[in-house]
Amino acid sequence: MLKNFIALMIILFAGPVYAIDGSSLLKEVDRNLSPESYESYRKLINIEPDGRKKEFTLFTVKKGTDKVVSLFLAPASEKGRSTLRLGDNMWLYIPNVGKPVRITSLQSVVGGVFNNADILQLDYSAEYNVEKVEEKGNEILLHLKAKTKTVAYDRLKIWADKGKKLPVKIECLTEANMLIKTLYFKEVKEFGGGIVRPAVVETDSPLYKGYKSVMIFAKLKKRDFKDEVFTLTFMPNIESLR
Amino acid sequence: MTEKLIITWFFVICLMLNAHFVEATEEYSFDVSETEKKSYHIGGYIEFRPAVFSLDKEASLYKLKFYNREEGGTFEEYNAKFQLESSLEKGIAKLFIKTNTDYKENYLGEDQKTTIYEGFLSLKPSSSLSIDIGKKTLRWGKGYAWNPVAFIDRPKDPEDPELGLEGFIVASADYIKSFEGPLKTISFTPVLIPVYEHVNDTFGDINKLNFAGKLYLLLYDTDIDFMILTGGSRTTRYGMDFSRNITPNLEIHGEFAFINNYKKMFINSTGGISETEYNAYSYLAGMRYLTEKDTTYIFEYYRNDTGFTSREMRDYFTFINSAYDAYLSTGSDLQIKKALKITEAGYGRINPMRDYLYLRISQKEPFDILYFTPSITWIYNINDKSSALSPELLYTGITDLELRLKATLLAGQRLSEYGEKQNDSRIEFRARYYF
């Protein structure tokens, strides 16, 4: 009788025995990175192997899971350009050309290591399914697989801080697990309104040896927008949202 | 003592300001004052573009242009451009002005021209509605090199399709509505185009108020537009276009235009001028493809039903040659002047014939050279088998400076479009600085 009781206690209190729900965790990571609808300012810096830099400043607004638009504020050569993403559709508007043209997620409107999918980032949970979850000390490793072929990277490996539920490092891979680029999330800071996230995202790529690109976030805040803002016709008017 | 105090306070204030305005990070900084919105904006670019032309002295258009002067085998041209954009915004209203100043120096001497490309007042009472009144470009159509449905735009140059264009004075509105489901967006753009003396008088017949409209749909991830232009300055025309990504890296697009009762004036080889009227059906089919190695292919076929046939073009060139011979033998340039007039009336427009192919191949950042894009563009006239081939090198690695070296080689037999251009080849360098 006593043996049975001890065995029952061991089973009940041995643990903790639980499985991490990868999908819920990914959604939590998404919400910790940004509210579902927000506005933000970003600086993109492309750094060449000799240390030369080229900088771009962007104003970005996002709504829901599939709508995001960015407006270039600087440098002067790019000012007024805007990029719109509506699900799998992406467009680029150049003021001199005067009309939006379709672009693809793998192209880069700024050159360097960041491509359009990085600049017009949707929620990870909107584009990826969690295939596997691993615990690695203070971090959780999420193995993600793209939901459709139209997503820029077939696979992602996200190393997330177990406590903060924020990404620390993301590897972007092809279907054959070839590394395309690595994103490093740094300098967690408070943006106000309860938003605490990394302010700096660095990236490098074996395809661009010696090159590095950096994205710095500022003035990230929750804001709601009408759906009409995320349309081709509105693209020349993004500046009016600031 | 006082000086030291002032310096110390100045230093402290600077530090405070720095702490306030600069989002400092370990290695990088983001001065958030860069993001502050101003109610006004002044910007634009200045450009310098020297060019050397290699002349074809046997070509009809050489004879037409240089009939009364002797030029060498080449001539140089120095071009400069100053494009200024300024805007002023207050509440729902925004005033926008874009001016363009072109300066040219060549064998004819100096020439300078300033044009208001755009200048309009824009009112945005909501994100669903905007109203624009003034001079503006509308840039309808999905084609890269040509746009048969651009009913209220000046024709763009397929050799440089991204150049800014002069607009027309219009009153227009955009009404946008978004939905959930396969139909994601509808937008409607009505446009009024007054054509009177000194107001849009190059658009068509004067003393008419023209109406145009465009209906845009984003349906099943496809951009679709329907257009109309009517009112009398030009004959009524209808159009539609579409653009869609078949795969993430392959986009297809097309345009179709129906022009009712199009009137075409043409000249025969002896100088007799005739006019014909017919319904014209012009269209364009194209694709844009991006490879894994960042090579972009843009390919288009353009059917220009308002264009001249091979025979009509041959007659035109034959007439110029006869006019030139007459000038040499009699010294009279009457026939030459007639040829110049008809050139301005239609034959001189960009790509005046019926069937064209366009291919542009550009390679982004080859050999890991960031911001460097070499490309080659080929325009082929299917009707007379003449062509223009333009290799170019573009470098944008220095902030706000764009450097481009471009050559153009023309090929074609006698009495063909590119074979009869005044030059066989051209090389130009363009340095453009944005501010």
Q: Is residue A1 part of a domain?
A: no
Q: Is residue A2 part of a domain?
A: no
Q: Is residue A58 part of a domain?
A: yes
- Rounded-to-integer distance, Cα B222 and Cα B61, Å: 43
- Rounded-to-integer distance, Cα B275 and Cα B263, Å: 7
Q: Which residues contact B146 (CB under 8 A, 6 or more apart)?
A: B156, B158, B284, B300, B302, B304, B351, B356, B358
Interchain contact B243–A (C-beta under 8 A): yes
- Rounded-to-integer distance, Cα A200 and Cα A215, Å: 6
What is the per-residue pLDDT for B54?
Answer: 94
Contact (CB<8Å) A234/B127:
yes
Q: Is residue A73 part of a domain?
A: yes
Entry pTM: 0.86
What is the per-residue pLDDT for B108?
Answer: 84
Q: Is residue A7 part of a domain?
A: no
Per this entry, what is the length of chain A?
A: 242
Q: Which residues contact A86 (CB under 8 A, 6 or more apart)?
A: A66, A67, A230, A231, B184, B218
What is the per-residue pLDDT for A4?
Answer: 63
Residue of A nearest to B244 (CA): A102
Contact status, residue A73 vs residue B114, Cβ threshold 8 Å:
no
Interchain contact A3–B (C-beta under 8 A): no
Contact status, residue B387 vs residue B362, Cβ threshold 8 Å:
no
B273-290 vs B295-303, strand pairing mode: antiparallel
- Range list of β-strands (E), B235-336: 237-247, 250-267, 273-290, 295-303
Q: Which residues contact B296 (CB under 8 A, 6 or more apart)?
A: B288, B289, B290, B360, B361, B362, B363, B364
What is the per-residue pLDDT for B27?
Answer: 67
What is the arithmetic mean of pLDDT over A116-127?
86
Considering only the beta carbons, identify the residue of B28, B140, B290 that sits closest to A214: B28
What is the per-residue pLDDT for A105?
Answer: 72
What is the per-residue pLDDT for B5?
Answer: 43
Tens digits of per-residue pLDDT, B134-170?
Answer: 999 999 999 999 999 999 999 999 999 989 899 999 9
Q: How many domains does chain A have?
A: 1
Contact (CB<8Å) B371/A54:
yes
| A vs B: CB pairs below 8 A | 164
Look up the domain containing A134 and give its range.
Answer: 20-241
> How far apart, in Å, are the Cα atoms of B74 and each of B51, B69, B210, B268?
10, 14, 45, 31
Interchain contact A196–B (C-beta under 8 A): no
Contact status, residue B43 vs residue B405, Cβ threshold 8 Å:
no
Interchain contact A7–B (C-beta under 8 A): no
Chain A residues whose CB is inside 8 A of the B156 CB are none
- According to DSSP, residue B155 is labeled P
Query: Is B270 in a helix, a strand, or coil?
Result: coil
Interchain contact A51–B (C-beta under 8 A): no
What is the per-residue pLDDT for A49?
Answer: 86
Q: Which residues contact B96 (CB under 8 A, 6 or more apart)?
A: B85, B86, B87, B118, B119, B120, B122
- Rounded-to-integer distance, Cα B51 and Cα A175, Å: 49
Residue of A nearest to B368 (CA): A208
- Rounded-to-integer distance, Cα A104 and Cα A65, Å: 18
B:306-365 residues touching chain A, CB 8 A cutoff: 364-365
B:92-151 residues touching chain A, CB 8 A cutoff: 94, 124, 126-128, 130, 137-141, 144
Tens digits of per-residue pLDDT, A73-120?
Answer: 999 999 999 999 998 889 999 988 888 999 877 677 777 778 888 888
Interchain contact B237–A (C-beta under 8 A): no
Task: Tell me which residues of chain B have a pLDDT lower than 70.
Answer: 1-27
Q: What is the ipTM of this complex?
A: 0.84
- Rg of the Cα atoms in chain A: 21
What is the per-residue pLDDT for B15?
Answer: 41
Residue of B nearest to A149 (CA): B248
Considering only the beta carbons, identify the residue of A55, A106, A150 that sits closest to B290: A106
Judged against a pLDDT cut of 60, whether residue A239 lies above it is answered with yes
Q: Residue B360 is which amino acid?
A: R
Determine which of A232, A238, A239, A241 to mutate to test the interface with B (most B C-beta atoms within 10 Å).
A232
Q: Is residue A8 part of a domain?
A: no
Q: Which residues contact B77 (CB under 8 A, 6 or more apart)?
A: B50, B51, B52, B53, B104, B105, B106
Chain A residues whose CB is inside 8 A of the B181 CB are none
Q: Is residue A217 part of a domain?
A: yes
| Max avg pLDDT among A142-151, A187-196, B145-154 | B145-154
Which alpha helices (DSSP H) does A34-115 contain, by range?
none
Q: Residue B141 is which amino acid?
A: G
What is the per-residue pLDDT for B363?
Answer: 95
Interchain contact B190–A (C-beta under 8 A): no
Q: What would the two tokens of residue B376 be?
A: 């080659």
What is the per-residue pLDDT for A136?
Answer: 86
In this structure, what CATH number is given to the domain that contains residue A196? 2.50.20.10
- Range list of β-strands (E), chain A: 38-47, 53-63, 67-74, 82-86, 89-93, 100-102, 128-136, 139-146, 155-161, 167-173, 179-192, 195-205, 208-222
Q: What would the two tokens of residue B187 be?
A: 């937008």
Using omega within 30 degrees of 0 as the cis cutoff, is the peptide bond preceding A75 cis?
Answer: yes
CA distance A99 to chain B (A): 6
Q: What would the two tokens of residue B359 be?
A: 């291919």
pLDDT band at A58 (very low <50, low <70, confident <90, very high): very high
Interchain contact A221–B (C-beta under 8 A): no
Contact status, residue B102 vs residue B49, Cβ threshold 8 Å:
no
Q: Is residue A124 part of a domain?
A: yes
- Rounded-to-integer distance, Cα B123 and Cα B131, Å: 5
- Rounded-to-integer distance, Cα B30 and Cα B46, Å: 28
Interchain contact A184–B (C-beta under 8 A): no
> How far apart, in Å, are the Cα atoms of B11 and each of A135, B24, B32, B351?
50, 18, 20, 64
